[in-house]
Amino acid sequence: MQRYWTLGMVMLLVGCQRGLPTQGGAEVRIPGGSEHFAVQNIPNTLPVYSIPPSTRDAGTVAADASVFGVRGDVQEGQRFSSVHLGTSWFLAERKTGAEFYQDRDGLWGGMASQTGPGPDGAPLGPIAAAPDLAASRRMADAFLSAHAPTGLGSAVFYRENEMGESVSNALQPGMSESKITCREFQYKRSIDGLVLHGPASQISVFVGPAGKIVGYFSDWPTLIAGGAVELQGSSAALGGMKARIDHLNSLLVPGKRILSFRVDKVALGYVGYLNPDGSRDVIPTYAVLGQADHENGPRTEVIYLTAAPAAPIRDPEPPSPADPVQPPPPPLAR
Amino acid sequence: MRNDFVAVSLALVAVPSILWPAPASALSISTVGINLYSGNGGGAPNLVNSDADANNAGSKASSYGWNWAFANNDSNAWGGIYANSGYGGVNTQDMHYYSGHGNDLGPFLGDGASYSDCPNGGPCLTTVPPNYNWSLDRLKWIAANACEWLYDGITTNSPPNWSALSPWYHVFNPSDGNPNGSLHAVLAARSETWDVTGMGSGYMDATLGWQGESAGQGWFDTMWWQMYFYPHSPGVEPAVLDAYQSSTGADWFNESLKSPWPDPDCCGSVEYNYHWDWIGTPSF
């Protein structure tokens, strides 16, 4: 699950040139066969959804920013509408309507703007830490309950991430100081029990020192139902697994290609795609969780397969400076 | 590890520790950005945003009153900017900002002719830490939006392998005898980073602008924002290798870019701190 996000971006990774893929393409292992992973009780059809580009106005941005205590004039930039107050700011992406909030002073326990006095003075005090996992989760859930997203679907807990800051001194290499300064709780959109992956389906609540909400991200636009598309069974979809991985490999540079993939779990869900004009499409998919043996090591990963032949799985859009929210840009590794 | 102890316990020439005067003139920055690796021998995929990222860094620093001394992009970025033994390249400015591919040896400028380490039959200036003499003059901070400059073989949220990092001590070493300067910090990443346009400019806002963060904290917070929060990458691990003085507890991670501290060789023995910030699920 830690690698869930990589299913949409596996082909965007650029990596070290450590080897070449095996002849004949990737090996796919389905323990027990496709029928063993058959998804039961699937409907005959599911709707597809569309999401138009955002039309959020400055008044809405100001109102949403005020939820976090960020009050001020709305600055209209090329890509974002923004409101700044002190060391906090709130951004709304103009194209998609996705919202970002960050409070750096809260994140560092009131020390964001502190700098040390230099060699002649005393060092800074210790960095503040976030509450423990259980307490932080309660705070995030409570915040989400108080600011429940509207529209189709419900927010379901997805995973927790940590931001841990540490320091080690060369003279004492075996010792280090570490603090979890912030915990992120991610929620995804569930539509009638089917999880929507990718764009249009994430809320993150960042809990910092003293339980303060120090960050927030929401990509939760209104979904417009389109026509229904007929589903194929998961066994039939798994028949296309090898071709899908080979296709992904054709887009990856040597060094990070998938040599083999072992299927662990198959689930029906939705996946979203961002279009260049800022509109988005949401289509049914079979999300296949498994162990991917890449040329640079094993990973738990998800591969999307087509669930409705009339709405086939796409490749992730290439990164563009104009589309900063999704998909992620490629890493800079050699 | 004992070798590390010897290597990092450099007893530098001490000078009286007095109040450090504010810089008499504007601080300065140089930048390098590389988008195009194909057609020049390659060695790495092309990037989309590095040129813009580097230029945005220089432009933003200028907006805060710094002097943007030089900017090299693509075809005129070569190893001599980093791997020199004289007073050219990165040493002549207070900060250098690099955006492009990287690895645990530093900037990766490409394998091709235009980015060659040995252009026009000249001396080979390979970009590896032993060739980085970054404490010769004015350079205080070198910042890299690039993968894995400070990668030490550790892929978990764990203390560093100091032996693997030890080649980087050289960049702080003012053993040339020149008392005029020594590096304060390398601001980089332990993990892979992401191709974004706003890392450098965001860092200037964080440290020189209204946020007023310290050199190190601003780097961490900007990378959190630019490479995790904002583009929704799986994760990233910014890292800072900086000067530290145990006798006073001074950690150059905490200095202000608005009013820099004295160079680390000002006032006693210099050691090194490695700060890292584990965010999400970084990739390596």
CB-based contacts of B102, cutoff 8 Å, min separation 6: A332, A333, A334, B108, B144, B146, B147, B148, B149, B188, B193
Q: Which residues 221-280 on chain A approach chain B with CB closer than 8 angstroms?
A: 253
What single-letter DSSP state applies at residue A94? T
CB-based contacts of A331, cutoff 8 Å, min separation 6: A13, A14, B147, B192, B193, B194, B195, B233, B283
- A126 in reach of chain B (CB within 8 A): no
What single-letter DSSP state applies at residue B221? H
Q: Which residues 174-213 on chain B approach chain A with CB closer than 8 angstroms?
A: 192-197, 206, 210-213
Q: Which residues 10-69 on chain B approach chain A with CB closer than 8 angstroms?
A: 17, 19-20, 43-45, 47-50, 52
Chain B nearest-CA residue for A85:
B210
A168 vs B contacts (CB less than 8 Å): 159-160, 162, 273-274
Q: How far apart are CA B75 and CA A102, in angstroms?
A: 38
The tens place of each residue's pLDDT in chain A, 334 residues long, gives: 222 223 233 222 322 223 334 457 899 999 999 899 999 999 999 999 999 999 889 999 999 999 999 999 999 988 889 998 888 889 998 888 999 998 888 877 766 666 766 666 655 666 788 999 999 999 999 999 998 888 899 999 999 998 888 989 888 877 788 889 899 999 999 999 999 988 889 999 999 988 999 999 999 999 999 999 999 999 999 999 999 999 988 877 667 789 999 999 999 999 998 887 888 999 999 999 999 998 878 888 889 999 999 999 988 654 433 333 233 445 665 5
Chain B nearest-CA residue for A329:
B195
Q: Do B248 and A120 touch (CB under 8 A)?
A: yes
Q: Which residues 118-177 on chain B approach chain A with CB closer than 8 angstroms?
A: 145-148, 157, 159-160, 162, 165, 169
Instruction: Name the burial class of residue B127, with classes exposed (0-12), middle (13-18) and buried (19+) by CB atoms within 10 angstroms of its CB.
Output: buried
Q: How far apart are CA A72 and CA A82, in angstroms?
A: 9
Q: How far apart are CA A164 and CA B269, in angstroms?
A: 29
ipTM: 0.81
Mean pLDDT of chain A: 82
Q: Do A108 and B276 touch (CB under 8 A)?
A: no
Q: How far apart are CA B257 and CA B27, in angstroms?
A: 9
Chain A nearest-CA residue for B149:
A333
B244 vs A contacts (CB less than 8 Å): 169-170
Q: Which of A319-323, B103-107, B129-133 has the highest mean pLDDT?
A: B103-107
B217 vs A contacts (CB less than 8 Å): 108, 112
Mean pLDDT of B201-215: 89
- Residue pair A253/A139 in contact by the 8 Å Cβ criterion: no
CB-based contacts of A294, cutoff 8 Å, min separation 6: A256, A257, A258, A259
CA distances from B105 to A126, A296, B42, B127 (A): 32, 19, 17, 7
Conformation bin of residue A211: beta by default, left when phi > 0, alpha when psi is -120 to 50: left
Nearest CA-CA distance, residue B155 and chain A, Å:
12
Q: Do A161 and B280 touch (CB under 8 A)?
A: yes
Q: Which residues 271-300 on chain A approach chain B with CB closer than 8 angstroms?
A: none
A175 vs B contacts (CB less than 8 Å): 159
Q: How far apart are CA A5 and CA A198, in angstroms?
A: 8
pTM of the model: 0.80
Of A165, A171, A320, Cβ closest to residue B246: A171
Q: How many residues does chain A have?
A: 334
Q: Do A119 and B262 touch (CB under 8 A)?
A: yes
Mean pLDDT of B179-197: 87
- Residue pair A270/A226 in contact by the 8 Å Cβ criterion: no
Give the pLDDT of residue B218.
Answer: 92
- A125 in reach of chain B (CB within 8 A): no
Cis-peptide into A327, omega within 30 deg: yes
Alpha-carbon Rg of chain A, whole angstroms? Answer: 22
Q: Do B192 and A2 touch (CB under 8 A)?
A: no
Q: Which of B42-46, B56-60, B173-177 has the highest mean pLDDT?
A: B56-60
| Residue B182: band (very low, low, confident or very high) from pLDDT cuts 50, 70, 90 | confident
CB pairs A-B closer than 8 Å = 215
Q: What is the pLDDT of residues A236-255, one digit of tens each?
A: 999 999 999 999 888 776 67
pLDDT at B65 over 70: yes
A166 vs B contacts (CB less than 8 Å): 157, 159, 275-278
- Residue pair B106/B128 in contact by the 8 Å Cβ criterion: yes
Which residue of A89, A103, A332 is the best one to mutate when testing the B interface, meaning the one whose CB has the most B CBs within 10 A? A332
